[in-house]
Amino acid sequence: MEFLGQTLSLSLIKPLWQTIRNFMGQASGDPKVLQGDLIDEDIRRAKDGINPGFLVWVNFDAMKLAYFFSDYDMAEEYSVTAHEIYDYAYGGTDSAYALFYECMVLLAQARRGKRRWRHVAYVRRRLKRLKYWAMHSPENYLGKQYLLEAELAVVKGNHQSALSRYRSSILHSREAGSDMQEALANERLGKYFLVDRNVDKSAGPFLQEAYRLYESWG
């Protein structure tokens, strides 16, 4: 891509590859912080006005890293430009991932009591778009829809709906062959039992399955 001068492709690929290196334990420092020799110079150039769009993708991947490492305050800071991907970019899966993780971050904050109903209202509006995508491509988006609906149900105190949606997300993610998404759905259900319901016995199998799937994913 560098040889061909594909600046736009590199804007997506470099932050993603650094993110994967962080997930694999190859971070140059704190694994939840998106930094390293692969992207540091590009970030500096973007801040100087050279390819400023690069920062949108950096923020997107930084948001994901912070979310997976449970630093929701940091994740929310990086989430502010996520809409620039799904409002103005036309790569379907990239748009869906940006919307999905932005909403997951905001719901995590809502569960902590931070701008609770403001975040809930925002997510409900975004969820309509994800449902539209899922209607046309359920194998790609339905698992994400169900997981967002599960997290939303927890915030609203609708526990029966939450359980149903978590389990549906796990099943649809498995059918789609998405180890990472299935792992996340298991993790969130396990943490729901552990934190929200205080039922350690029920949490264990889902957290163990999440661990197995994350390890399988690499």
What is the pLDDT confidence band of residue 89, given thresholds at 50, 70 and 90?
Answer: low
pTM of the model: 0.92
pLDDT of residue 91: 56
pLDDT at 95 over 80: yes
Transcribe the chain into DSSP letters: -TTTT-HHHHHHHHHHHHHHHHHTT--SS-TTS--STTTHHHHHHHHTTSSTTHHHHHHHHHHHHHHHTT-HHHHHHHGGGTHHHHHH---HHHHHHHHHHHHHHHHHHHHTTSSHHHHHHHHHHHHHHHHHHHHH-HHHHHHHHHHHHHHHHHHHT-HHHHHHHHHHHHHHHHHHT-HHHHHHHHHHHHHIIIIIS--HHHHHHHHHHHHHHHHHH-
Q: What is the pLDDT of residue 38?
A: 85
pLDDT digits over 132-154, tens only? 999 999 999 999 999 999 999 99
User: What tens digit of pLDDT does each residue of 12-33 get?
Assistant: 889 999 999 999 999 888 999 9
The per-residue pLDDT of the chain, averaged, comes to: 92
Q: Rounded mean pLDDT of 171-177?
A: 96
